[in-house]
Structures are given as C-alpha cells and as structure tokens.
Amino acid sequence: MWRYLTGLNQVDFKEELNSIGGELPQPAPIIGIDHYSFIKATGVSFTQLNFIKEHIKGFDEVLVHVPSDGGEKCDLFFSFYNASRKRLQREISGVAELGELQQLLKNISANHWVYFVREKELKIDRTLIMGILNITPDSFSDGGKYFSEDSAYARAMEMLEAGADIIDIGGESTRPGSKPVSIDEEWRRISGVIDRLIKNETVIISVDTYKSDIARRALGSGVHIINDISGLTFDPAMAKVISDSGAAIILMHIKGTPRDMQKNPSYRNLMDEVYGFLYRQCRFAKENGIGQIIVDPGIGFGKRAEDNYELIRRFGEFKALGYPVLLGASRKSFIGFGLNDDQIDRMIGSITSALHGILNGANILRVHDVPETRQAILMADAIENLKAIT
C-alpha cells in the first residue's frame, strides 16, 4: 500500500519513519518540513524499489528502505520538494511497475467529481454542506429535538434554506455507548420525513444506517446516498443493496461498535490503520459494483481526542484514495477536550475544525450548524480565491 503523507509535524515525521523500522537519515528534511512531500509504501517489491531509486534521482530526496516479509519485499519512505511533484509525475509516467504511485499522485490533485445518484446529479466541485437530521431521542447533541415528523421536516427545510446541499437523516443514535434499535423502529422514525422530503426535486437525501434492510427501504423510497458508519463491515448484505440501486455510499472508519468504541481505543499507527481500512473498503466496494464512493475517516468513532486532532491536521492524506472526503467533526466531544471545558458550547470549535478540514482538502462537511458553516466556507473561499480589482 502506497500513502502520500501531508500535514506532518516533526513528531509525525519520526513516527511514520519508525513505523517501518527506519532510522532518521542525515541530512533529513526535518527543518522546513512544510516544504516537503513524503511517500510511504509497505510491501514493495525490490523491482519497484529499483525503479524508485532510478526515477527520484535529482529530487533532493531522502530514501529509506527496510526489508520486510522475510526479505522478499521492503517498506520504503522517501521525500521530495512540494514544488517537484509534477516533475516526479512526469518522470515516472509510463513506468508500469509504479502504476499505483502514479495513480496516487494523480488522486491528490483531484477536486471535481460528478455523481449521478438515482438519476440526480451530485456535483462535488466546491465544499458541500451535509446537514444533520437526527430523528432520535438520544443523539449526543440534539437528541429529542426533532423526534416528531413535523419538527424533523421543519428542521430539514430550515437547513436547506440556510444552504445545506445534502440532508443526512438518522433514526438510530451512534453516540458512544448507544444501543441499537430494531429495524422497524428505526424505519418508523425516518420514513415519514423521507416521503415528504423526496417530493422536493432539488434535495439530495442521505440516510445514516449500517443495516441493509433500512438501506433497502430508504432506497426504495428514493434516497440518494447511504451513510454507513461501518464502511460495509457490519452487514454483509449492504454492498449488494447499494450496488443494485445506483446510489452513492459513504464509507466511514470505525474502531469497534458505537456501544464499545470509546472504551480505551488505541492505535499502533493511527494513519496507517484508518487509511488502510478505507483503502481496503474502497477496493471491496468497487469489486462489488459500487463506483460512487465518499470516504469519511470517522472523527470520534473509536478515537481519542488526540487521534481526532491528528486526523484533521493530516486530512489531506485521504485525498490519495481518489474519492471525495467527508469531515464529520460537528459538536463532538474532542472539541470540549481541546477547549478544556466539556460543558462549553461547541459551535465555534466545530467551525474551527471545519475550516481546518477545508484547508486540508475536505469536500463535504457534515454539520449541525448550517448557516454558520456556510459563512465560514464563503469566507475561506474569498480569502483563498478572490483578487483585488484594479
């Protein structure tokens, strides 16, 4: 597996190198680290290694390679100046043995996708807002507020008018420690709102469920996206349901289940594990006929506060998967941890997290506070793109 590493601080740099058993070379790009790009690969053949050695000459590189798998393969880590990336792409173009590296370098530049979800166009060429609609009595932030069909529908319309591009409807809380509800109860909670919203020809509806029976019913009602917190791992029938429908899937990383995910989660290498899971599940989805994929690293799902901070800081690495990336950080507990006040209103912390996500390549923001997030997106876009008129 090849990874493109970005957003590294000096601790990250050392940890990534140490994770393959490598030693810090001298001289190493630890000073001015922001000016470098890094590639890490595991299970690489020595033939591939020799091609890498040949083609990165002259890129001011640091190359470390460590034998693995009994010496038949190796793990490698190399660096090059950010400004040299396009030149590296040209240099390795057409080298069949480095096809995965070529694709990875191409993926990180992608910023435009057009999906046709149930014959409706979903264009992802700017940062989209996914408004959260929890029709539950026990969700961590807004449980019970929109539990009736009328209040839930009114909330959905309010978010659409405020600028939401997608409405994500959930009928079962997945907060830490939560217990599953029955399929019939979950469907009872969400079906009426879906039937009312689907009449709006402009709305894109996502349903937050990991159960294939709920997904099948929702898709039968016209829903466009299934948001599966398990990344197609909890229900073996889910992949076929999505494939048969022509809907899009959101593949999220989770460690454990909602009931136990926050019981001392730990990682040997956070980014390796989260990226590796999404890499494998994207391949699994494609092999099962699903082409319209969105990936979500799963902020707060089996992660410590410091894990969530690292995921957001290094969010740009997930672009290398080649699909739009969703950030769902809104109002989660790591925000209170960072502000040293678990009772504080988390909106400002949520907006700050969203802005970091935007700067690091997030394509979709899943949020509670739609109008405030939209203002932040517009301001970030203005700072990044608008020029003075002379």
Residues annotated catalytic, as ranges? 332, 366
Single-letter residue type at 46 = F
Single-letter residue type at 353 = S
Surface-to-core class of residue 156, CB atoms within 10 Å of its CB (0-12 exposed, 13-18 middle, 19+ buried): buried
Nearest to 133 by CA among 173, 188, 77: 173
Count other Cβ atoms within 10 Å, centred on residue 29: 20
**Rounded to an integer, what distance in angstroms lies between the CA atom of residue 366 and that of residue 296?**
10
Strand-pair partners of 89: none
Report the SS3 class of residue 363.
coil
Q: Report whether 172 contacts 215 (CB < 8 A).
A: no
Distances (CA, A) of 240 to 192, 237, 360: 25, 6, 33
Q: Can you point out the beta strands (E) in the chain?
A: 2-5, 36-45, 63-68, 73-81, 113-117, 120-124, 128-134, 166-170, 204-208, 225-228, 248-252, 293-296, 326-327, 364-367
Q: Report whether 2 contacts 101 (CB < 8 A).
A: yes
Nearest to 78 by CA among 151, 130, 125, 16: 16
| Residues ≥6 apart with Cβ < 8 Å to 81 | 35, 36, 37, 59, 60
Q: Report whether 237 contacts 226 (CB < 8 A).
A: no
Q: 106 is written with which tokens?
A: 């191409």
